[in-house]
Amino acid sequence: MNVHAPLPEPLTERPVSSHNEWDPLEEIIVGRLEGSTIPSDHPVVTCNIPGMAARAQALAAGFRFPKFMVEPAQQELDAFIQVLERLGVKVTRPEPYNHKAKFSTPDWSSRGFCNSCPRDSMLVIGDEIIETPMAWPCRYFETHSYRPILKDYFRRGARWTAAPRPQLTDELFDPAFKLPEKGEPIRYILTEFEPVFDAADFFRCGRDIFVTRSNVTNAMGIEWLRRHLGEGYRIHEIKSRCPNPMHIDTTILPLGPGKILINPEYIYPDELPDILKKWDILVAPEPDPIEDRILKITSMCGKWLSMNILMIDEKRMIVDPHHTNMMRQVEKWGFEPIPVPFLHYAAFGGAFHCATLDVRRRGTLESYF
Ligand code: ABU
């Protein structure tokens, strides 16, 4: 199969329609880097950023990301968009936005961050797009840069919801929180003061939706989504051993019906929900180490970003060519990797899955279990 062959013409007229992570991709929102600002200092931010980047973030909080970080990431982003378009996928972009502007609630003030990762702030379930109640104060107004897109989808028939806007006052954060040491039970910085969640802590397999709790998603947030979606969906919690969990898409991700990719450090197969144990469990290979000093210092992400794959359909996937172990392994499993260099984007919070939000995939709502 020619991996650059465009997808067949869309069959659906719905502006938002996506039920899983692998149906043929028709339209995707891709994030933007213009206006990116180093996140304002807060314990919920620093607890999730790796050592060196966290120290730099604390010193430079509220300043624009420097050019030497933005420019190479922008080049990679532009090339990624070209690949998607060549594959016949419609690419939709948020507005450029001044994330450096200071904003306040009655309780606190902050500057913004960026809209590099639409995967976090919006969750697509079928024809509904849900703005999520995010726990990072600097992301409080992040969806505003997507509002023109959201209004357009809404005018064309999509359902558009915003979860209850959280207060993000001190009661939400455990002041005594420390990252667990090796062997200690996993704990989280969040209390159950109010529902919060990032969309990237969930993945969708039709009527079954899977979630990991994290330092940005609490039990109340998961329960809010469960009640909101009602009886048509089942939400299953997956136990992760990640000591600083933030987002499911470097821990476990479905690659197609019956195929689940797992991070062997964070997921123990015998602890998976029973329904997932029946799927083929594909163990991600050890990530290829990143030796470049600047990339290592500036990354906001962990080494398992090699797993942050975007499925174009059940066979084709976008993978970073740096991760040769992953490229070779997915080929052995019968997939067709499409290599796109993207390592510099890690400084802005992710790779292909994080940087995108698939709003339309051709397919119907199904039960895969
Ligand atoms: N937003 C996904 C990246 C999280 C990680 O560092 O693994």
Degrees to nearest 5, angle at CA 199 with 195 and 202: 100
Q: Is the CB of 208 under 6 A from ligand 1?
A: no
Length of the chain: 369
Predicted local confidence at residue 3, as pLDDT:
60
CA nearest ligand 1 atom 5, residue:
301
CA–centroid distance, residue 335 to ligand 1 (Å): 23
d(CA 332, CA 320): 17
d(CA 236, CA 155): 32
Q: Cα(first)–Cα(last) distance of the chain, in Å?
A: 29
Q: How would you class 68 by CB atoms within 10 Å of its CB: exposed for 0-12, middle for 13-18, buried for 19 or more?
A: exposed
Predicted local confidence at residue 153, as pLDDT:
97
CA–centroid distance, residue 159 to ligand 1 (Å): 28
Predicted local confidence at residue 6, as pLDDT:
65
Place of tokens 């995108």: 356
| Residues classed as catalytic | 198, 247, 354
310 is written with which tokens?
């975007």
CA nearest ligand 1 atom 4, residue:
301
Q: How far is CA 220 from the centre of its chain?
A: 20
Predicted local confidence at residue 49, as pLDDT:
86
Degrees to nearest 5, angle at CA 77 with 143 and 90: 70
To test the pocket of ligand 1, the residue of 115, 246, 262 to mutate (highest count of ligand atoms within 8 Å of its CB) is: 246
d(CA 161, CA 152): 14
CA–centroid distance, residue 263 to ligand 1 (Å): 12
Predicted local confidence at residue 11, as pLDDT:
45
Predicted local confidence at residue 317, as pLDDT:
98
Q: From the first residue on, what is the mean pLDDT of each consecutive set of 10 residues in the chain (369 residues)?
A: 57 85 98 96 91 82 95 98 98 95 97 97 98 98 97 97 98 96 94 98 98 98 98 98 96 98 97 97 98 93 97 98 98 98 97 98 97
To test the pocket of ligand 1, the residue of 215, 250, 290 to mutate (highest count of ligand atoms within 8 Å of its CB) is: 250
- Local structure of 280: helix, strand or coil: strand
Predicted local confidence at residue 51, as pLDDT:
77
* DSSP for 207-229, written as a single string: TEEEE---SS--HHHHHHHHHHH
pTM above 0.75, yes or no: yes
Predicted local confidence at residue 1, as pLDDT:
46
* Residues whose CB falls within 8 Å of the CB of residue 30, separated by 6 or more in sequence, listed in order: 77, 80, 81, 84, 91, 92, 93, 118, 355, 356
